Amino acid sequence: MDSVTAAAEKIYLGMDTSIATIVVGVLRPGSEVPVVEAIPNDAESVRRLAGKFPDRRLLAACYEAGPGGYELHRLLVSMGVACDVVAPSLIPRGAGERVKTDRRDAVHLALLHRAGLLTPVRVPSPEEEAIRDLVRTQADLADDRKRMMQRINALLTRHGRVWKTARWTADHRTWLERQSFAEPPLQAALRTYLAALDAREAELAVLERQLRDCWAGVEWLAPAVRRLGCYRGIAELTALTLAAEVTDFRRFGSARAFMGFTGLTPSEYSSGARTRRAGITKADPQLIRSARVGLGLPAPARDRGHAAAPPAGRLPADPRQILEGAAAAACHLHQTDPARQDSHGRGDRGRPRARRVRLGRDDQLNP
């Protein structure tokens, strides 16, 4: 009875946030219509709002996850206010809703929060968020490098300079350095692009070295990185990306739940006897999907000399049972039965298939 009374006495705050303001819908016990007010989006105004309520333990605030981050959540929690950051894509919405305002959103959040229909997301700690931002910076630099390569190729193609074979090899780069144009503006454009590409590659190399040498071994992150490294095809940077984005693998009850989080499950629109499935949902952090998709691709023949060493040789600090399982699986796959692997590993075109092996269970990914 006490828990029911406490739940009935809760005051729900639905907060629609923007850069300048926060629109708050206050839903008191026994009320069906929240009272709405707008406050500036700064720490002092939020403290004044919380100070209007005698007992902050009765407050239950929520707001949508978005570009504003988690600073509002941390501020409210530091004042003793319970706060949920909810997933925007999982908020129930009526099919006929055609009006969206900050006021309506705040009211909607307060009512749904009291009804228990909102799905909170896991809020990372400041240390976890910092590592994740650094990993995403590495991905941004890689995207910038790719765009610069595309611009160089487009510029040369527009002026009839086409490289016929594989691009961005040593021969291709030597050919790029030899390119010159009679028109000074065009020559300056090419040299500017090449210099920008060199700068992006230098920045990327420095950041990747920092990630490997400094941050992959952080105490709270290193166990997950080491365990992920037991899987074939996962090196330090990929393991660090997955560990930083997922953070806590224990929040997923099964592999199916984790695959749903990664966005690699097929979308479906079925009704009655008709079953219709489409492409993957892509409802995930883009870095996770990129890492997971990359793990399912076979390495080109010319790159197999750069494959990672067996896990038992490169991960001596892992628990014995994980290392023994990984080493035994790798040995069985590559040494004990080569004839069977060769007979079943080639498709109709004579190319080797991707050789995959599942190591361990879902709970072995837990840090």
Q: Alpha carbon of 79 to those of 43, 55, 83, 151, 175: distances in Å?
A: 11, 11, 11, 50, 62
- With respect to residue 311, please indicate whether it lies within any of the assigned structural domains: yes
Single-letter amino acid, residue 259:
M
Same domain, 104 and 132: no
Question: How far is it, in rounded angstroms, from Cα 238 to Cα 63?
Answer: 32
At 44, the amino acid letter reads E
End residue of a domain, out of 162, 181, 209:
209
Do 185 and 310 belong to one domain?
Answer: no
* Tens-place pLDDT, residues 12-70: 999 999 999 999 999 999 999 999 999 999 999 999 999 999 999 999 999 999 999 99
Q: What is the pLDDT of residues 95-143, one digit of tens each?
A: 888 899 999 999 999 999 999 999 999 999 999 999 999 999 999 999 9
In a domain, residue 50? The reply is yes
pTM: 0.74
| Residue 273 falls inside a structural domain | no
- 94 and 194 co-located in one domain: no
∠ CA 260-89-65, nearest 5°, is: 105
Residue pointed to by tokens 């069985």: 332
The model's confidence at residue 290, banded by pLDDT at 50, 70 and 90, is confident
Based on the fold, state whether residues 67 and 139 are members of the same structural domain.
no
Same structural domain, 348 and 317: yes
Nearest in space to 238 (alpha carbons), one of 167, 160, 173, 293: 293
CATH number, domain at 36?
A: 3.30.420.40
Let me know whether 7 and 68 are in one domain. yes
Spatial separation of the C-alpha atoms in residues 156 and 163, rounded to whole Å: 9
Say whether both 146 and 226 belong to one domain: no
Residue span of the structural domain in which 34 resides: 2-115
Place of tokens 């981050």: 69
Q: Is residue 337 part of a domain?
A: yes
Residue where one domain finishes, among candidates 75, 93, 115: 115
Q: Which residue has the higher pLDDT, 256 or 203?
A: 203
Asked if residue 102 and residue 134 are part of one domain, the reply reads no
Q: Which two tokens stand for residue 269?
A: 């629109």
Q: How many domains does the chain have?
A: 3
